Structure 1
Amino acid sequence: MSVSPKASTPDWPVPPEGGWTADDLDRLPNLPPHTELIDGSLVFVSPQPLFHSRAVDFFNWQLQSLAPAEFEVIREFTIDIDRQNRPEPDVIVVRGDIVDDPEQTRCPAEAVSLAIEVVSAESVSRDRETKPLKYARAGITHYWRVECEKGLAVVHAFELEPATGAYVAVGIFRERMKVSAPFPLDLDLTAIRARRGGE
């Protein structure tokens, strides 16, 4: 007598009807680090290349060093956009008054002044299309997309146009990035390289 094999139970979380919610990210056990919620679906982040790590470190450190006292700069921290969207930008600049709890796992979108995404092979569509649309709808004033071209960083900077509620490009920066918002910055982008010595 043969026995029918039992259906195996998947190791990954099975979404409930209607999708996951922002609160589920704090309750689901054993989620991989940096799991995001986009349109009710969990997005797991792939291992990142060296350029990604160096770019995130650069912007996190530079902005922390230069930010006025009323701002906080945080790397890899989720934003509450709505019930079905809780993305995790690589670096954010937020109002300092909302960072008051060491157990805090997210911040409200209305407190975010700048979201920075460093593009990797698996995040191109999300970083160029999906996330900017959601950040703009949430009222995040500034969005920077950092890409790697020939081993060097290129920053595409956007600002929210209040009348349309959409982002408009304010510049594409190579080698040097000088901006006045969300606070004055003059950054040497050549310090971010995919390889030492720019090989």
Structure 2
Amino acid sequence: MTDLPEWMRPPRPEGWLAEDLDHLPNAPRHIELIDGSLILTMSPQRRWHMKIIGALQQRLAEQAPGGHEVDREMTVLLDPKNRPEPDLVVSTTPYEGDQTWLPAQDVELVVEVVSPESEQRDKKMKPAKYADAGIRSMWIVEQEADDAVAVSVYELDDVTSAYTRTQVARGTLKVDLPFPIEVDLTTLAP
């Protein structure tokens, strides 16, 4: 067995911290930090997944009011040991070219497009962390039969500090949070 690359060795016994992600020489592009552990996306992305992310990013950007940015595959700093990378993020963080992460307090919506290899993280682990960080809205996007798109919309419940599903959209997605959005889901998949 070959030696591990230097970037895979934790800098301290208790694991990684969020700021460590910016100092990993020669590391793969997609790395998340969950509970102080590095999560690498090593499997190839499916074309459906990439098309849906691109189309949704475009629709969100077209409808976003001033002061909102729509970013793709940008990590979100939740706390010192958690910096996940949602597929899409809508935030009020002003654009800064060298920025590598977004602060959770500026994030208004996270979107996870589920892949077979990330299903457990996208549907179980990440929603709890996003809710704990106070992110108001989350969408989970899934592929149905014949490449159809279904979007589960979640909003943060102030009493329980957990997400409540408010709808499962098929055909047309229409929401008021974080701002009025309407998307014809039938136009997303090729």
TM-score by length of 1: 0.90
Of 33, 38, 53, the match for 1:37: 33
Q: Partners of 1:72 and 1:90 in 2: how far apart?
A: 14
- Runs of 4+ off more than 4 Å: none
Q: Which position in structure 2 is the counterpart of 1:189? A: 185
Deviation (angstroms), 1:102: 1.1
Identify the match of residue 110 of structure 2 among 90, 115, 119: 115
Distance 1:65 1:186 in 2: 11
In percent, how many aligned pairs have the same letter?
A: 44
Query: Which residue number corresponds to residue 163 of structure 1?
Result: 159
1:73 is matched with which residue? Answer: 70
* Alpha-carbon offset, residue 192 of structure 1: 2.2
CA distance in 2, matches of 1:42, 1:29: 14
Q: 1:26 aligns with which of 2, 12, 22?
A: 22
Larger Rg: 1
The Cα of 1:23 is off from its aligned counterpart by 0.6
2:34·2:84 contact (CA, 8 Å) conserved in 1?
A: yes
Question: Which consecutive residues of structure 1, in runs of 5 or more, have no partner in the other structure?
Answer: 1-6
Aligned partners of 1:31 and 1:24: how far apart in 2?
12
Unpaired segments of 5 or more residues in structure 2?
A: none
- Which of 146, 150, 161 aligns to 2:141? It is 146
> Distance in 2 between the 1:33 and 1:47 partners?
12
SS at match of 1:163: coil
For residues 28 and 2 of structure 2, the distance between their equivalents in structure 1, rounded to whole angstroms, comes to 21
Which residue, out of 71, 81, 86, partners 2:83? 86
Calculate the aligned-residue CA RMSD, in Å: 1.2
Question: Is 1:51–1:192's contact at 8 Å kept on the other side of the alignment?
Answer: no
Mapped to 1, the partners of 2:173 and 2:121 lie a distance apart of 24
CA distance in 1, matches of 2:96, 2:141: 30
How far the C-alpha of 1:100 sits from its partner, in A, is: 4.0
CA shift for structure 1 position 17: 1.0
Q: Distance in 2 between matches of 1:100 and 1:192?
A: 26
- 2:48 alignment counterpart: 51
* Secondary structure class of the residue paired with 1:23: helix
Alignment partners' CA distance in 2, 1:69 and 1:43:
33
